[in-house]
Amino acid sequence: MSWLVASKIDHLISVRAMSVHDIATIRQMKESDFLTWVYKKSRKSRAVPVPVGDDMAAIRLPHGNGSPLILLKIDQCLDQVHFDLRCHAPGLIGRKAVNRCLSDCAAMAALPVAILIAVALPEDASLPWTRKLFLGCESAAKKFNCALVGGDTAIWNQRLAITVAAFGLPRRRPVLRSGARPGDVICVTGPLGGSIRSRHLTFTPRIGLARRLVETAQVHAMMDISDGLAIDLPRMLAMSGAGAEIDADRIPIHPDARRLARDDHRIPLHHALCDGEDYELLFTVAPRDAARLTARRLPIHTIGRITRAENKIELISNGRRIPWPAGGWNHGAGRP
C-alpha cells in the first residue's frame, strides 16, 4: 500500500471518533474492500504520475515531465499481527519491519535510497531490547546501502508498532501492476507458502533480482506477494484489466508449506496460494522474454499466462478446472 493510501486512512480515522459499531465493521471487512473505497476517493494530480493502487507512489519534484521520479512507500508492522513480541527476537522484528517496506521497492524495480522509522514502544521495553530493535532495522537497510535518515519514537501503554517509510528511485521507469498484456507469461521468483514457520521474519527483499529482471527483459507488470497469490494475482489483474490461466501443477510450493499441510491436513497448494508473506515477486513478460530469463538462469517459475477475460482466473490441475481460492492474508484476522 503506497504512502498516499496510508495518509488517506490516517485522515479518515482522525476525522471523527469511531463508535464500537464502526470498529467492529472494520475488523470484519476485507482490507481490499476498504482500500478500493479509498482509491475511488483519491484525487488525481499531475505531480503524482503513479497514484494510489501500486506498491509505491511516484511523485515528480519539481513539477514537470523532465523531472526525476521519486518513489514513496509507508508500511506498518504491528505486534501480534506481523510479529509476536512474546517469542520473536527484537532484531528480527526490526529487520522484518524494514524489509516489508523495501520489498515494495523490489516490486517496482526501484533502488531504495533512504528510510524513516517511527516506533511506538511499550512502556515496559528495556533500553538494551530497544537498541537491538533499532540495530535490526539498521542492518536491514544497510544491506541495500539505504540510509536511515530519521523518524520518531514514542512510549505508550499499548503493543509495539513500527512504521517505516521508504524513498526510492526507479531504474528507468517504475514497473506497475497495470501493464499485464494478453499472451504474457506469468512468473514468480520462488516457492510459496508456509512463511509462518520463520521466513516471514528472515526473508530478503528481491531488490537485486528485480533489477536484473528489468535489465534482461521488458517486464510488463510486477508486484510482490505479500498477502498471498490468491489475493495478489487478482489485484494485478484488476489493475491490468485482464484475466489469467494458472497451471496449479507449476506453482512452486515451499517445503514449509508441505510441512504445514501434514499438520493441518490441508493440501500444500492451499498454503502456497493463501498463506501470504512470501515476499517473492509476481510479474508478467512476453513469452520470448520469459525464455530469455530462463536462459540466463534467473530464479523464475512460469505458472500461467495472461488472458483477455477481465478479472477471471482459471486454475487448472491435471487437466481439471478448479475454483480459485478466496483465501489469503487478511489484516483483520492476521497472525504472526
Cell digits for 13? 480515522
Domains of the chain, by residue range, sit at: 3-170, 177-330
Apex 47 CA angle, 56 and 222, nearest 5: 25
Residue at grid coordinates 512504521: 163
Give the per-residue SS3 of the chain: CCHHHHHHHHHHHHCCCCCHHHHHHHHHCCHHHHHHHHHHHCCCCCCCCECECECCEEEECCCCCCCCEEEEEEEEEEECCCECCCCCCHHHHHHHHHHHHHHHHHHCCEEEEEEEEEEEEECCCCHHHHHHHHHHHHHHHHCCCCEEEEEEEEEECCCCEEEEEEEEEECCCCCCHHHCCCCCEEEECCCECCHHHCHHHHCCCCHHHHHHHHHHCCCCEEEECCCCHHHHHHHHHHHHCCEEEEEHHHCCECHHHHHHHHHHCCCHHHHHHHCCCCCCEEEEECHHHHHHHHHCCCCCEEEEEEECCCCCEEEEECCEEECCCCCCCCHHHCCC
Predicted pLDDT at 16: 34
Predicted pLDDT at 23: 45
pLDDT in tens, 117-157: 999 999 999 999 999 999 999 999 999 999 999 999 999 99
By the 8 A CB rule, do 193 and 271 touch?
yes
Are domains 3-170 and 177-330 of this chain identical in fold?
Answer: no
Predicted pLDDT at 6: 35
By the 8 A CB rule, do 181 and 287 touch?
no
Residue at grid coordinates 515451499: 254
Nearest to 35 by CA among 220, 203, 177, 245: 177
Q: Report in angstroms the alpha-carbon separations of 171 from 72, 168, 211.
A: 15, 10, 8
Residue at grid coordinates 528472515: 202
Predicted pLDDT at 220: 98
Q: Using CA atoms, how far apart are residues 279 and 104, in angstroms rounded to an integer?
A: 9
Q: Report in angstroms the alpha-carbon separations of 24 from 18, 265, 328.
A: 10, 31, 20
Q: Using CA atoms, how far apart are residues 59 and 148, in angstroms rounded to an integer?
A: 21
The amino acid present at 31, given as its one-letter code, is E
CATH node for 177-330: 3.90.650.10
Nearest to 211 by CA among 298, 302, 278: 298
Pairing outcome for strands 69-78 and 57-60: antiparallel
Give Cβ neighbours of residue 262 (< 8 Å, ≥ 6 apart): none
Domain 3-170 has CATH 3.40.228.10: no
Cell digits for 47? 505531480
pLDDT in tens, 230-248: 999 999 999 999 999 999 9
Name the stretches of the chain with pLDDT < 50. Answer: 1-24, 334
Name the region of 80 (left: φ>0; alpha: ψ -120 to 50; beta: rest). Answer: left
Predicted pLDDT at 316: 96
Q: Using CA atoms, how far apart are residues 109 and 224, in angstroms rounded to an integer?
A: 10
Task: Tell me: cis bond preceding 325? Omega within 30 of 0 counts.
Answer: no
Q: Using CA atoms, how far apart are residues 252 and 246, in angstroms rounded to an integer?
A: 12
